[in-house]
Every structure is written in C-alpha cells, then in structure tokens.
Chain A
Amino acid sequence: MAQDAGTNVKGALGLPAKRTPILIKGNDAIVKGAILAGARSYFGYPITPASEIAETASRTASSGPGISLKQEGISYCAGAELPCVIATIMRGGPGLGNIAPEQSDYNQVVRIGGHGNYRTPVYAPASGQEMCDLTMAAFETADRYRTPVMIAADGFTGQMMEPVVFPDPIPALPEKDWATRADAATRRNLISSIFLEPDELEEHNRHLQRKYKEIEEKEVRFSEYMIDGAKLVVVGYGIVSRVLRTAVHLAREEGIPVGLLRPITLFPFPKKRLEELARQAKRMITFELSNGQMIEDVRLSIHDRIPVDFYGRMGGNVPSAEECLDVIRRAAKEGGTL
C-alpha cells in the first residue's frame, strides 16, 4: 500500500545495500527519519500519545492540545516562509479529551488552524515505514517550498511497532542565503511576516498562493487497493486505511465490487483521482475517526457527482474490519446497483 513511499535502498554511502528492518515504534521512526533527513535541532512538548518524540529528541512534535498552542507559530512561519516540520499524533478531543487515537484534528491540520491565507502540506503516514519515509519527504518539501509541513498521524500509528527499513541519510539540504546565520554574508537579512502596505501584502499573499498551487500540482500522493472495477469506493487515511484494506479484501471475497483510495497527502488532496473515480463508481464512503471532516474534501473533489456516505467513530474507538465490512455490505445493498 505504501509503494510510492519507497525504501530508497541505494547503498551509496558504503552502507550495506541490503538493509535489514528493525522493529520500532512509529513515534521513534519519526525521530530517526528526521535525523536521517538532517534535523539537528528539536523543539517540542510532550503530550501523550506523542511523548516518545520529545523523549528521544533531536522539527517539533505534539498532539492536538499542543498543536492548538503552536498555531500562532505555524501562521508566522507560513508568513515569513520558514521551512519546518511539525508532527501531530492526533488524540481524542475537543478540549483535553483523552489520549486515544482520533482523526478529529483534520480540519485544524488540513484547513489550517492559524490565521491568514496559508496552507501547509500534510502527510498522513499509515505504517512504521511511512513514519520514517514521509518524515524525510516532509523535510525535503518544507525546504523546497519554504513552508511549514505537517505530519498527521494518529495515536495507533504512533504507538504501534512494525519493521522499518531505514534508508540512507539524505544529503545536506542547500545552505539558506535568506536565513539569519549570524555571519557577514547574511547580516542584512530579515525574517518577518510584516507587510504593512496593502499592495505589498497582497502581492506576498499571491506569491504564497502560487506556491500552494504548485504544491497541489506536484506533491499529491495517494495509494489504492483493489480499485479496478470498483463501483463502491471507500476513502480513508492513516490507521483507518489499514482497517479498510482488510475490510475491502473481505468484501471482494463476497463479490462486492469495492476498492480503497487512501490519501497519503491530505493537502494537496488527491482531487483529480477522486474525480476520475467518481465517473467509474456509483457511491463513495469516507471512514474517519472523527465527526466527518475529510468527507468535505471528498465531496468538493467530485463536485457531489455521486452520493458520499460517512462512517465515523470517535472518542478513541477504532472500528474493526468486520464493522467496516458491515457498512460496506449495507451500502452495497442500499445502493441497489452494486
């Protein structure tokens, strides 16, 4: 399912070409991935279920309540075009909620939780391997576009252990001529998000929007499972996509023509692919650990061309594959045409 987040086993640095996996927690894989991507400083706040990231330390990471506090900084980084990577391991909310997995911060993360005309690319890993690989991708994206980038995982993906093959460290990212490096070459540089003149700020905002458009054109990632001939398309990301994979497999064995689309980037959202699928399918269902937040992006992507149902669990409950299978069966039956 993660075929496009490759394992990059090159052996170019004299490391053994054949890498061996280690069994590691998702949160720890983020830390190691960040170091392989060149991160040498870390500023975070321990909030369960993201605490391992703060403990292991060396970007920034937190969970829902902490990300709310970071919104001010994310907006300023977007305005001043400072690259950074922020990981959120989503937990139950609102308020203090609980520490069990939810995806209820989709709106906060994807539709942005701070002020101003900005977006942040968002990667949604679903496995230990992706916790590493997408963290590394996040660093490259942040650097290339000079933007904050978010990694949105859930408590399960953070706490789960899976085998991970760690790729080569990425070569040092280019030196920044715009930074304040405290040297003669950069002495007159200014990092600021202030543009007092309306025309100047409008132009700055237009520049940001062009950047987001380019990101939407170039950085979309998604994966699919049993999508060929699917008349019913289920959409889920992160841990939910793993449960759905099992459910889709079981449903196909019963003869239900169902397939899975899993967004890997939540912004940019795989709009074009969904639009294509809406021509082939008769119905879609989004499965989320929330009250239904991603569903709005799905409906917008396909312009409500076909009905989109929603199935969600909240409070930290993760649906079982059997539970999702029931929803798929019902939709297949009620849809009549499947």
Chain B
Amino acid sequence: MSAPVYEVFLQKPKGFYDTYERKSGDKTLMHYCPGCGHGELHKMIAESLEELGVRDRTIFLSPVGCSVFGYYYFDTGNIQCAHGRAPAVGTGAQRSRPHSIVISYQGDGDLAAIGLNEILQAANRGEKMAVFFVNNAIYGMTGGQMAPTTLPGMATTTSPLGRDVKLAGAPIRMCEMISTLEAPVYVARCALAGAKEINRTRKIVRKALETQAERKGFTFVEVLSTCPTGWGINPPDSQKFILEKMVPYFPLNIFVDKTDHEGEPYVPHPEPAPSKIHEILRLTGHEVGSFAPGAVDPRYMNPRMKIAGFGGQGVLLLGLGLAQCGMMEGRQVSWLPSYGPEMRGGTAHCHVNISEDEIGSPLVSRPTVLLSLNQPSMEKFEGQLVPGGLQVRNVSMIPAASKRTDIENLDIRASEIADKLGNPRAANMVMLGAYAGYTGMLQLETCLAALPEIVKKKTLVELNRKAVEAGYEEGKKARKA
C-alpha cells in the first residue's frame, strides 16, 4: 500500500467538520458507541451533502437523544432543538429561508413519543424538509427504556418482563402512518444491517436529500438502526436482530414515491417599499377635524353610552358607527363589545365613549345614554342610567313603558321606519340618526360620511343612508317638540 491511497481512504466526507470540537475525547471520532447505527447514517448524509454540493444551504436540526450532538459533526448551519420539536423548528427555518435544505434527524422517543404531533403536522403540511427517523426500538441515550417502537415482548429497563401490548399498546409503525397523508412525496423504510440493506439505505438517503435540493416536498426516511449497548448484544448480532426481529414487524419498503415531477422553484417575495406599507395595510382614515362638531347642550356632551338589543339587530355596528362619527369629529372615542360573562341573557350590547378628554375606563357601568333596541335590553339596563340620563327606545320592539321617571326617554319607531325604507334590519341606523338629531352630539353630514367606513357591503350603504336621514329627522322633530 502506498501512502496517498491510505490518506484518501481516511478522508471524511466534506459534509463533516475536519475535527469534532467536543470538550473531551478524541476529536476525530464520534461519541457513539461501537456498532451504533448513528455514525453510519451520519456518514451517508454527509456524503450526500457533499455530492449534491448543498452544504452552504443546509440547516441540520439536532434532536434530544443520542444524536443531540449532531452539530459537532455536520459542517452546515446547525440548530439544536427541544425534545420532539425539530419538525416545528424546521418549519420555521424553512419558511423564513425558503431556499434552505432542512434536515430533521430524530430518534424514536423524540419523533414517535413526545414529538408525534409535530411530525404528523409537518408531514401533513408537506413542509419541505428531510426527516431521518432513527428507529432502534428503545430510548438509547437515557439508558434503554421502552419506546413507542419497542417490539412486543422485548425487554427494556421499563419493561423488564417484555413489552406487554395489552398494557403498552403495539409498536407504532411511523412510515405506514405517514403514508396515509396526502402531502409527503417520499416515504421509505430501510435498515443498517447487512451489506445489501446498508447499500440500499445509502441510496434512499441520497434520494431524500436530492428531493430537498430540488424543492419537491416532505420526505420521511425511517432507518432501522442498531443499539448494541442498549440492547445488550454485540454489534454483529445487533445487525442480525434488525433483520430477524425488527424487519418482520417493520417491513422495509418504499411506501410513497411521488418525486417524479418538477420541483417548485424558489421565487422570493418582493418586499414592498416602506412607503407602500400603510397603503397595503389600509392604515389611513378620514382626516380628523374635517367634520366639525356642532353646538351641543352641555348635558349631552361626553356621553358614556350603552347600546343594547338582541343578536342580529346590529347593536355592535350601531356602537361602531357612533364611535366612528365621534372620531371623525375630532373627539376621543372607545368601543367595547359585550364580552365574557356579560354576554348572558340573550341581549347583545356594547359600550361607547365619546369624549373631549382622554378616556379612562372604556367600560360603561353607569351610562349617561342608553340606546335600547328591544324590551329585554331596556329592562336589563335602564336601571343603570344616571339620573337625568337619556334613553332612546326603539318602541317598535318595546311595548312596555319605561320604569324610570328621572330620565329622559326618546321614543322612536325605528323598526317600522326601517321596514318602510325596505329592510327592518336598518333600525340600528335609524337609532343612530335619531340620537344624533335629538342631541346634536353628531352632525348628519358626519354620520353619512361614516357609513362607508363601517358598512362592509357597499350595496347596503344607500339603505343605511336613508335610515340615518329618517332617524335624524325624527330625532330633530322630537327635540323641537
């Protein structure tokens, strides 16, 4: 043998670092036990990364388990993940750097126990990542406990009498489960046992990484792997154990191969110009103060309002309209929907403040104005009105009389007026107009200009405009009388 041949023989794949900068031990060797499958699989991945020339764009995810130190070996970008969460981390990494090749390398405790949800969701979404699932039928790093993949009858430290499937269920076949999903493009099981299967495994690893390099979709490769230390048998017998005991339960197969199509090329999203972001997000409203407030009787100034009715009467929208108008007239406003425990009792309501000063509590517990759209609302809330407060009642829906004698009642046949205009559901806007016309707190012009801001359906703006105008006239008439 001549020396150069010897040197070439020792050369590591370029996917690995030259030395492994761990704290202690030989920096040219991995930390795995003799006969362990991890080193072999690491090498296959590193070789493929080199052959495909994709080291620079690769992010390797180390799990929790024996391969927790994957980042000591792979000369790529590295992220060390929480137990079971690698596919979630990979989702984030791949989506924020869509040109990247993400490798999630996980053991059976990590992937099939604590991380089962993460792997299934990522597979189902078809995240563009290569998952290598190392199945050695036990928890290796922690000392050989029973895993979801432990074979029936197999003794482990937590199942010393052998796995009892009646107690612990049967081993989970991950490839078969993932094959039921629509998105994965490549699902295969292979084994690190016997020259033939090891060669086949090398090809499968290469295929998975090629699929990533071409951006074709989610790949899942389950590798049946040896754990001589955890199993308590020597390395050669460990390979036999895989072929004789594991393969019958976990058949080797290419379960899914949908890679016979063009990959999805990465086209970066153009970042919008900063000056366009406000426009895109629709962050500009009416110029404040372009709608001047009118002269208002002091007792109607700074109203703290409650608006109540049954669901479907547009109570929240009415409140929103009041707040929108107030804002357009340059005032401070707040709108709070009925919410949480307050939602009991079949009425919907909201709280609105319109104020010249900064608003303290947005919650209105003692309103100065109550808009009652139906009878239960009046019964529930009129007791809260401050003495001298104003109640606007939709008397189309409230046959009973108000019980308060120390408040002002404005009675409007809102539902009937709206019905005549074509739709009784516009009663809320009749109420808005009536309140504005009666108190002078909001200008008609403002109310009409506010409508397109709050009414989503453009076809309804016209009806609502008529409703506001009709209500405003009613309110104004009542004021004069």
Task: Note whether A and B form a binding pair.
Answer: yes
Q: Which residues of A contact B (CB under 8 A)?
A: 1, 13-16, 18-23, 32, 35-36, 40-41, 43, 49, 72-73, 76, 80, 92, 98-101, 155-156, 159-163, 166, 168-169, 171, 180-184, 186-194, 196-197, 239, 242-247, 249, 315-318, 320-322
Is A20 a contact of B360 with CB atoms below 8 Å? no
B99 within 8 A of A: yes
B274 within 8 A of A: yes
Q: List 19 A-B contacts (CB under 8 A).
A: A15-B278, A23-B335, A32-B283, A76-B82, A100-B340, A156-B336, A160-B334, A160-B336, A162-B334, A162-B362, A166-B281, A180-B79, A182-B101, A188-B75, A189-B77, A190-B80, A242-B361, A243-B361, A321-B361
The prevalent SS among residues of B at the interface is mixed
Closest chain B residue, CB of each to CB of A72: B82
Nearest-neighbour CB distance to chain B for A235, whole angstroms, equals 16
Is B68 a contact of A194 with CB atoms below 8 Å? yes
Closest chain B residue, CB of each to CB of A16: B284
A187 in contact with B333 given A76-B82, A321-B361 (CB within 8 Å)? no
**What separation, in Å, do the CA atoms of A99 and B81 have in the docked complex?**
32
Is A22 a contact of B283 with CB atoms below 8 Å? yes
A317 in contact with B361 given A19-B284, A43-B92, A187-B77 (CB within 8 Å)? no
**What separation, in Å, do the CA atoms of A41 and B99 have in the docked complex?**
16
Is B359 a contact of A242 with CB atoms below 8 Å? yes
Chain B residues, CB < 8 A from A316: 340-341
A182 in contact with B358 given A41-B92, A189-B77 (CB within 8 Å)? no
A181 in contact with B97 given A13-B275, A187-B55 (CB within 8 Å)? yes
Is A192 a contact of B82 with CB atoms below 8 Å? no
Q: Which of B34-42, B140-148, B180-188, B285-293 contacts A (4 or more CB under 8 A)?
A: B285-293
**What separation, in Å, do the CA atoms of A16 and B285 have in the docked complex?**
12
**What separation, in Å, do the CA atoms of A328 and B100 have in the docked complex?**
60
**What separation, in Å, do the CA atoms of A61 and B75 have in the docked complex?**
34
Contact with A along B38-60 (1 / 0, CB 8 A): 00000000000000000111110
For window 239-283 of B, CB contacts with A under 8 Å fall at 271, 274-275, 277-278, 281-283
Chain A residues, CB < 8 A from B274: 13, 168-169, 171
For window 296-341 of B, CB contacts with A under 8 Å fall at 320, 323-324, 327, 332-337, 339-341
Nearest-neighbour CB distance to chain A for B276, whole angstroms, equals 9
B93 within 8 A of A: yes
Chain A residues, CB < 8 A from B285: 20-23, 163
Is A193 a contact of B333 with CB atoms below 8 Å? no
A322 in contact with B23 given A180-B93, A242-B361 (CB within 8 Å)? no
The 5 A-B pairs of least Cβ separation, nearest first, read: A100-B340, A246-B360, A182-B100, A180-B77, A192-B80
**What separation, in Å, do the CA atoms of A184 and B76 have in the docked complex?**
9
Closest chain A residue, CB of each to CB of B84: A72
Is B360 a contact of A182 with CB atoms below 8 Å? no
Chain B residues, CB < 8 A from A18: 287
B96 within 8 A of A: yes
Chain B residues, CB < 8 A from A239: 361-362
B465 within 8 A of A: no
Is B79 a contact of A192 with CB atoms below 8 Å? yes
Closest chain B residue, CB of each to CB of A245: B360
A20 in contact with B336 given A41-B92, A191-B80, A315-B341 (CB within 8 Å)? no
Nearest-neighbour CB distance to chain A for B318, whole angstroms, equals 13
Is B78 a contact of A191 with CB atoms below 8 Å? yes
B366 within 8 A of A: yes
Nearest-neighbour CB distance to chain B for A41, whole angstroms, equals 5
B95 within 8 A of A: yes
**What separation, in Å, do the CA atoms of A98 and B278 have in the docked complex?**
36
B85 within 8 A of A: yes
A156 in contact with B339 given A20-B288, A23-B327, A183-B56 (CB within 8 Å)? yes
Is A320 a contact of B80 with CB atoms below 8 Å? no
CB contact between B361 and one of A32, A43, A80, A246 (< 8 Å): that residue = A246
